[in-house]
């Protein structure tokens, strides 16, 4: 029962997986934690694709904060053995297929319009696609088991700071109350609450990427591999079943994600170039229908699709890019997914959020009585997140420049995989990892910035020749050579990469 006398060390707003895992870690550090959720579980949430980095961090959090049950969620095999009732999907890697307007998908023996990058060696050791409504709801049950006070359908109205304490005015079950806390963590996943409570604004200023999304969950989507086989497209040299991956369809206007779960549900969405004013002005249904009409195989995939009960409709977003002007203040801090977002390309969301949990838990575990000043660590945290968002933005923006030119897309995307491999190797060697995706690696950043500027020049040309493409590809191949332990861009690979991931 929520009473006005409730007092806590830390109050966390937002009970998605970020808020709940943060609460569980801090609770096991000895803090008295309260978790507040405006909605109610189970609830629909987008952002389902995990990565090897996400799995590494789950295992680390499991060990460091005495959450042994969390370990099983770091691989598909152990997840299925321990919690088969919590829906997920196999994610063996990243798959990309280039579609052209008005034409059915085609390729050749060298996979000229395909790119498959393995992230695991088997289904058993695979990453996963999370059905967030299931996984998030499960984590809420774990907070209750840990005796963490949890209040859903609860809204924070105001926050007042007095004598190094927060007085939070809330509405719960149609009643108002005031709860006290020394510190407040915003894990809501948007800048709305920080603006309301602390007058901290968010904006899309200074982002290179400009995109918006159109998505839902569907039943009865055909398997892409079945479609390829009907076209007599050879898949015998694939490193994995492409339906068991983060499956991307690359369009001229943007790209599609297709994430399959093991209960016949599929997360399917368009991420579209926001610089295309014509797309921006179309209503959601008209835009959805127009893209289906333009790409025959996308239309085939969706023709018998049935909307899932959750969310039950097609959702259109505003511009995806946003960043809060401040990441923290006196007595409060925001989690990375609340501070900012770029785009779902490359599936950075889950791993990036988990890396934020690691950092925040470390900062607070070193200041258990709030006696040490937190300004320094939190200012460093803010600066690091700013650099990480800049890197993700740069890598994604380059992909949007190349959507119409798949060989350029293929070459540019290798830079992301180089950052990923470097970060994974550092963690596996138990070296300190200050920046997500090695965003603090000045040499790699210089290479990426230089290459992006060259890419801008190429894509601004009226025509792009085969020689331009070859030259750009060779340039990237040479620049990544000191870091390229996976044979990326080797001509003999034919865009099929079996062994990019470090041994886990």
| Residues 135-188: tens digit of each pLDDT | 999 999 999 999 999 999 999 999 999 999 999 999 988 899 999 999 999 999
H or E element, residue 91: strand 88-91
pLDDT tens-place string over residues 181-208: 999 999 999 999 999 999 999 999 999 9
Please give the Cα distance from 29 to 10 (Å, whole number): 12
Q: Percentage of residues in the chain with pLDDT exceeding 90?
A: 95
- Check residue 173 and give its pLDDT: 86
- Check residue 504 and give its pLDDT: 46
Residue 439 and residue 390 in contact, taking contact as beta carbons nearer than 8 Å: yes
Quick one: tokens of 4? Answer: 């006005």
Q: Are 418 and 328 members of one domain?
A: no
- Check residue 2 and give its pLDDT: 55
Q: Percentage of residues in the chain with pLDDT exceeding 70?
A: 98
117 in any annotated domain: yes
Please state whether the predicted TM-score (pTM) of the whole model is above 0.85.
yes
Q: Are 151 and 188 members of one domain?
A: yes
How high is the mean pLDDT of the chain?
96
- Check residue 289 and give its pLDDT: 97
- Residue 364's nearest CA partner among 385, 350, 381 is 381
Residue 458 and residue 75 in contact, taking contact as beta carbons nearer than 8 Å: no
Quick one: tokens of 292? Answer: 């289906």
- Check residue 373 and give its pLDDT: 80
| Residue carrying the six token digits 């609770």 | 27
- Check residue 502 and give its pLDDT: 52
Q: Are 178 and 272 members of one domain?
A: no
According to DSSP, the β-strands at 322-324 and 202-203 are: antiparallel
- Check residue 7 and give its pLDDT: 93
Q: Are 302 and 427 members of one domain?
A: no
- Check residue 369 and give its pLDDT: 77
pLDDT tens-place string over residues 305-358: 999 999 999 999 999 999 999 999 999 999 999 999 999 999 999 999 999 999
Please give the average per-residue pLDDT across 3-7, as a whole number: 65
pLDDT tens-place string over residues 26-41: 999 999 999 999 999 9
162 in any annotated domain: yes
pLDDT: which is higher, 414 or 499: 414
Q: Are 371 and 451 members of one domain?
A: no
345 in any annotated domain: yes
- Residues in Cβ contact with 122 at an 8 Å cutoff, skipping those fewer than 6 apart: none
The CATH number covering residue 266 comes to 3.30.9.100
- Check residue 3 and give its pLDDT: 53
Q: Are 30 and 155 members of one domain?
A: yes
Please give the average per-residue pLDDT across 258-264, as a whole number: 96
pLDDT tens-place string over residues 442-495: 999 999 999 999 999 999 999 999 999 999 999 999 999 999 999 999 999 999
Q: Are 49 and 105 members of one domain?
A: no
Q: Are 98 and 68 members of one domain?
A: no
Segments forming the whole domain that contains residue 225: 91-128+211-316
Please give the Cα distance from 222 to 247 (Å, whole number): 13
Q: Are 71 and 152 members of one domain?
A: yes
């Amino acid at each position: 029962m929520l009473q006005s006398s409730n007092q806590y060390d830390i109050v966390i707003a937002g009970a998605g997986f970020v808020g709940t895992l943060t609460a569980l870690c801090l609770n096991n550090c000895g803090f008295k934690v309260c978790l507040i959720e405006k909605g109610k579980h189970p609830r629909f949430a987008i952002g389902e694709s995990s990565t090897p980095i996400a799995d590494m961090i789950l295992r680390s959090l499991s060990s460091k904060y005495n959450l042994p049950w969390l370990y099983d969620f770091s691989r598909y095999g152990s997840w299925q053995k321990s919690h088969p009732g919590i829906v997920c999907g196999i994610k063996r890697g990243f798959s990309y297929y280039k579609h052209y307007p008005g034409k059915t998908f085609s390729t050749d023996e060298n996979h000229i319009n395909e790119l498959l990058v393995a992230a695991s060696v088997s289904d058993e050791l695979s990453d996963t696609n999370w059905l967030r409504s299931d996984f998030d709801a499960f984590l809420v049950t774990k907070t209750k088991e840990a005796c963490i006070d949890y209040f859903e359908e609860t809204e924070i109205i105001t926050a007042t700071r007095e004598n190094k304490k927060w007085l939070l005015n809330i509405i719960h079950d149609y009643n108002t109350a005031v709860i006290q806390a020394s510190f407040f963590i915003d894990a809501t996943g948007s800048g709305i609450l920080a603006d309301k409570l602390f007058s901290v604004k968010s904006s899309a200023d200074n982002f290179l990427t400009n995109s918006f999304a159109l998505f839902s969950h569907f039943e009865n989507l055909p398997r892409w591999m079945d479609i390829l086989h009907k076209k007599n497209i050879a898949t015998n040299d694939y490193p994995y079943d492409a339906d068991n991956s983060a499956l991307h369809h690359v369009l001229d206007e943007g790209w599609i994600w297709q994430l399959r779960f093991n209960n016949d549900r599929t997360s399917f969405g368009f991420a579209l170039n926001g610089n295309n004013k014509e797309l921006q002005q179309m209503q959601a249904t008209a835009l959805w229908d127009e893209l289906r009409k333009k790409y025959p195989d996308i239309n085939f995939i969706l023709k018998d699709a049935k909307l899932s009960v959750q969310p039950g409709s097609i959702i259109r977003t505003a511009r995806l890019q946003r960043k809060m002007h401040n990441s923290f203040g006196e007595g409060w801090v925001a989690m990375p997914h609340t501070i900012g977002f770029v785009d779902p390309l490359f599936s950075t969301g889950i791993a990036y959020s988990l890396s934020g949990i690691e950092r925040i838990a470390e900062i607070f575990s070193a200041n258990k009585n709030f006696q040490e000043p937190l300004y320094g660590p939190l200012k460093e945290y803010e600066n690091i997140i700013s650099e990480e968002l800049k890197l993700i933005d740069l890598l994604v923006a380059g992909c949007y420049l190349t959507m119409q030119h798949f060989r350029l897309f293929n070459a540019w995307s290798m830079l992301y995989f180089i950052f990923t491999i470097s970060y994974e190797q550092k963690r596996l060697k138990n070296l300190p990892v200050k920046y997500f995706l090695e965003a603090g690696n000045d040499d790699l950043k210089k290479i990426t910035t230089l290459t992006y500027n060259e890419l801008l020049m190429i894509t601004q040309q009226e025509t792009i020749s085969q020689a331009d493409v070859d030259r750009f590809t060779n340039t990237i191949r040479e620049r990544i050579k000191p870091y390229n332990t996976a044979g990326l861009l080797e001509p003999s690979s034919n865009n099929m990469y079996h062994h990019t991931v470090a041994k886990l």
